[in-house]
Amino acid sequence: MTDVAHDHASSTGISNVKLGMWAFLGSECLLFGGLISTYMLYRGRVSGGPRPSQIFDIPFTSVSSFVLLMSSLTMVLAVSAAHKEDDRKTNLWLTVTALLGATFVGGQVYEFTAFYKEGLGFSTSLFGSSFYTLTGFHGVHVTVGIIMLMSLVGILKRSSVPGKKAEVVEMIGLYWHFVDIVWIIIFTLVYLIPV
Amino acid sequence: MAIIERPAPTVPAIVTPTSTYGLLKRPVSTTGWRSWVFTVDHKKLGIMYAATAMFFFIVGGVEALLIRLQLAAPNGKVLNADLYNQMFTMHATTMVFLFVMPMAAGFANYFVPLQIGARDVAFPRLNAFGFWAFLFGGIFLNLAWFLGGAADGGWFMYAPNSGPVFSPSHGVDFWALGLQITGIASLTGAINLIITVLNMRAPGMTLMKMPIFTWMITVVQFLLLFAVPVITVALFLLSFQRNFGAQFFDVAAGADPLLWQHLFWIFGHPEVYILILPSFGIVSEVLPVFSRKPLFGYPFVVFSGAAIGFVGWGVWAHHMFASGLGPVSVAVFSLTTMAIAVPTGVKIINWTLTMWGGKLWFTTAMKFAIGLIVLFTVGGLSGVTHAVAPSDTQQTDTYYIVAHFHYVLFGGAVLGIFSGFYYWWPKVFGKMLNEKIGSWNFWLMVIGLNMTFGPMHILGLQGQPRRMYQWTEARAGEGFFNLAFWNLVASIGSFILSVGILMFLINVVVTARNPKKAPLDPWNARSLEWMTSNPPKEHNFDVIPTVHHLDEFFHQKFEEDEATHTMKQVRTAEEIMAEQERNADKHIHMPSPSYWPIVLAFGLPIITFGLIYSHLISVVGGVIVLFAAYGWALESSTAPDSDFETNTPGTGLDKVGANHD
């Protein structure tokens, strides 16, 4: 019998990496929970700076949110292609997903710049501090996702990815969908619900 | 890490890296310091966790003795006020984050895979990373002593006292960022152990056949998984305020300082169960073995542990009764706090009934376990008095609180840890700790801790505030309850306690010098970790056991006699071992050592160091982290078959798929 610590059939039937990612995402829920709570506590405290309703450009953010949500669709297509062991399509959809994610992050950078010019700095008010922290953390998560996607494309091309390819693609897919779902919550609470 | 070729399993065959899999060829040493620094073996990492935690225990202990020296007499001159603030802050931080938590991680790392019949953890490299992140985080936290002073806001670092106005040194920055690093270590450790327990149990081991220690550790890992991110948020907010001008706790800007308290205690209360449940698990293993009876009401102990895991999330505001939460919140949190005493009480009753009618064997491990039951109960009872809000309002920030949490943490968590040392020492090192010195160790510790922490109840009820750096003769009072007498008793007690702990260190040295080997099954134990050699082979088990019972090892040794309904020994541990060796798996590929965990972990303190001093240094740390992350991702967790083959002449190796973690 050949046996490696983590190669024999798992007790749950789910691979270690996938279950590990689920556990990590469970932990991430509490991270964003803390940040969202902080924002909800402080969103009305503007101390002379701009109010949320004065600076939010909801049509613009809606479009960039739509772009991010579409990246979940392309991620699904990438996972599906990976399961069919179609390397070309996997790479294609992973790249498209990363590009859509990058578009979203670009939109966020533009938005932050615009808000800053309208007078909302990180230190301007409690609203400013908590808004930039919450959306900034989300932006960093998307950026890390993009880096993982692009690295995956590079590694897949060299076809030296350790482990089963589809499993790794799916694991990163889980992360990506999570980040998208968090954005739906943030977009609703931060932008759509008036103070 | 090496292929084990029968019939010479003691000689580790070396892996020869034939090509570069992750930027560098993987390390291969099986001896010397390299075999420890680059190891991914859960047993070595468990020992490293425990040894490092023991070091920090001594550091924290010295800090405690300085505090007690300062308070032994009126107008103490040992420390000035500023240094005193740093001392109690770092004492608590060290004991909580750098001693009890990593010590529990050490026990968990070593014994959970053995107890569930696995050969390693789910993510061996992540495991190594967790250890190094903890070590570097701990060093980083203590660096502040040499760079302008350590953190001085108390271990819960209330805002706005933690802000730059009241705490201008870099101490709080080091504290906040250092705890982020150890938090990463806890989080990765939690994910690793959860997946190990969920996915890697031996065939037949259902969750309700799992050893109780593994169960308690699992509950703790879930608590960590969900509690660590909350403190992460709090620490980020604090760092952003101190280093980037955010306003989160700036009261002048309209901030609510209670935000910190809520975030901290939503983490902080689950944290106290993170500290105590591993010790509950240890004594739940020790008591049945030395009572020669199964654990009384195993399912109750499991479910009360899980219940503590859930209810532990609903009691945090009892730390904040004095902050003006309002009557509804106070009433709710009073009730939940009383409720959480119930599952804890269930455990105490189960342990007592495990001993009831048993053939008790008073080894040092057993003494420590009984010590935990008694002293934790004392701490638990004073804990229930905190649930009574009006009474708690009087006790808040007095020595009564200090007495309470030292009874539950020292009388509970630490005695449990020492019980584990004596119980498992022969398993880990193949030698028995000296029982005679052990007895001195136990009695000096118990006498010392009661003398130190018992009088603090009186001091607190007499109104001595905690964190007060001096007391004066004029205000000490008179008669039996005067502060001068009881402060002196507490200080003398703390030195007796230290001698008790010194006894343990002496015992370790004496045992190491004693050539006598421990028997295979010295305690007639019950669970799977004893069903292998002392110390265990690198691959833990020659054959992965198939589990039929709770306490599988016991049931392999004993069978019920039909006529008399008594348990009769049918096999010895040696016979079971011999049978395993006969049927041993021929080819076992263990995960291979790696450079990347330590390199990746090393990048973290460089990043945080740069956040305090110069962002350029952070960039360097970031590059190291990225570099290591790519090396990690490109390297497979287990060396490919071809690398094993180069060293093992053609014995028809089975194909093993590439692995990853």
What angle do helix axes B124-143 and B171-199 make, rounded to 10 degrees? 160
Quick one: which H or E segment has residue B464?
A: none
B602 touching A (Cβ < 8 Å): no
**Residue-wise pLDDT tens digits, B77-87:** 999 999 999 99
pLDDT value for B21: 61
Contact between B492 and B444 (Cβ < 8 Å): no
Quick one: which H or E segment has residue B206?
A: none
pLDDT value for B629: 92
Residue of A nearest to B205 (CA): A11
Q: Within chain A, how many helices (H) and strands (E) appear? A: 6, 1
Contact between B346 and B304 (Cβ < 8 Å): yes
B206 touching A (Cβ < 8 Å): no
Alpha-carbon distance of A176 to A161, in angstroms, equals 19
Judge: A38–B635 Cβ closer than 8 Å, yes or no: no
**Residue-wise pLDDT tens digits, A5-43:** 444 568 888 889 999 999 999 999 999 999 999 999 999
pLDDT value for B201: 95
**Residue-wise pLDDT tens digits, B184-232:** 999 999 999 999 999 999 999 999 999 999 999 999 999 999 999 999 9
Instruction: For chain B, give the percent of residues with pLDDT over 90.
Output: 82
Contact between B116 and B168 (Cβ < 8 Å): no
Q: Is A193 exposed, middle or buried (0-12, 13-18, 19+ CB in 10 A)?
A: exposed
What confidence category does residue B587 fall into, taking pLDDT thresholds of 50, 70 and 90? confident
What confidence category does residue B653 fall into, taking pLDDT thresholds of 50, 70 and 90? very low
- Nearest C-alpha neighbor of B425 from the set B538, B525, B511, B360: B511
Q: Which residues of chain B have a CB within 8 Å of the CB of A168?
A: 660
CA angle, residues B231, B339, A26, in degrees to nearest 5: 35
Judge: B195–A19 Cβ closer than 8 Å, yes or no: yes
Contact between B40 and B611 (Cβ < 8 Å): no
**Residue-wise pLDDT tens digits, B525-572:** 999 999 999 999 989 999 999 999 999 999 999 998 888 888 889 999
Judge: A23–B118 Cβ closer than 8 Å, yes or no: no
Q: With the C-alpha atoms ordered B133, B134, B135, B141, is the resulting torsion angle positive or negative? A: positive
**Residue-wise pLDDT tens digits, B137-178:** 999 999 999 999 999 999 999 999 999 889 999 999 999 999
Q: Across the interface, which of A2, A123, A163 has its CB nearest the CB of B654?
A: A2
Q: Which residues of chain A have a CB within 8 Å of the CB of B193?
A: none
What is the architecture of the domain spanning A16-192? Up-down Bundle (1.20)
Judge: B123–A16 Cβ closer than 8 Å, yes or no: yes
**Residue-wise pLDDT tens digits, B172-196:** 999 999 999 999 999 999 999 999 9
B636 touching A (Cβ < 8 Å): yes
Q: What is the mean pLDDT of chain A?
A: 90
pLDDT value for B652: 37
Given a cut of 50, whether residue B6 has pLDDT beyond it is no
Which pair of tokens denotes residue B293? 């009876």
pLDDT value for B658: 36
Q: Minimum mean pLDDT among A71-80, A100-109, B82-91, B379-388: which range?
A: B379-388
Q: What is the mean pLDDT of chain B?
A: 91
What confidence category does residue B109 fall into, taking pLDDT thresholds of 50, 70 and 90? very high
Alpha-carbon distance of B132 to B121, in angstroms, equals 16
Residue of B nearest to A48 (CA): B253
Alpha-carbon distance of B370 to B363, in angstroms, equals 11
**Residue-wise pLDDT tens digits, B52-93:** 999 999 999 999 999 999 999 999 999 999 999 999 999 999
B78 touching A (Cβ < 8 Å): no
Alpha-carbon distance of B319 to B302, in angstroms, equals 27
B199 touching A (Cβ < 8 Å): yes
What confidence category does residue B636 fall into, taking pLDDT thresholds of 50, 70 and 90? confident
pLDDT value for B357: 92
Give B221 to chain A, closest Cα distance, Å: 10
User: What phi, psi does B387 have (nearest 5°)?
Assistant: -70, -20
Which pair of tokens denotes residue A76? 């699904």
Provide the chain B residues 217-256 that lie in CB contact (below 8 A) with chain A.
225-230, 232-234, 236-237, 240-241, 244-248, 253-256
pLDDT value for B18: 58
ipTM for the whole complex: 0.93
Alpha-carbon distance of B593 to B26, in angstroms, equals 7
Torsion-angle region of residue A159: left (phi > 0), alpha (psi -120 to 50) or beta? Answer: left
pLDDT value for A6: 41
**Residue-wise pLDDT tens digits, B488-521:** 999 999 999 999 999 999 999 999 999 999 999 9
pLDDT value for B633: 85
pLDDT value for B130: 97
Sequence ranges of the domains in chain A: 16-192
Judge: B638–A4 Cβ closer than 8 Å, yes or no: yes
Contact between B595 and B38 (Cβ < 8 Å): yes
What confidence category does residue A45 fall into, taking pLDDT thresholds of 50, 70 and 90? very high
pTM value is 0.93
Mean pLDDT to the nearest integer, A77-88: 91
Alpha-carbon distance of B328 to B185, in angstroms, equals 38
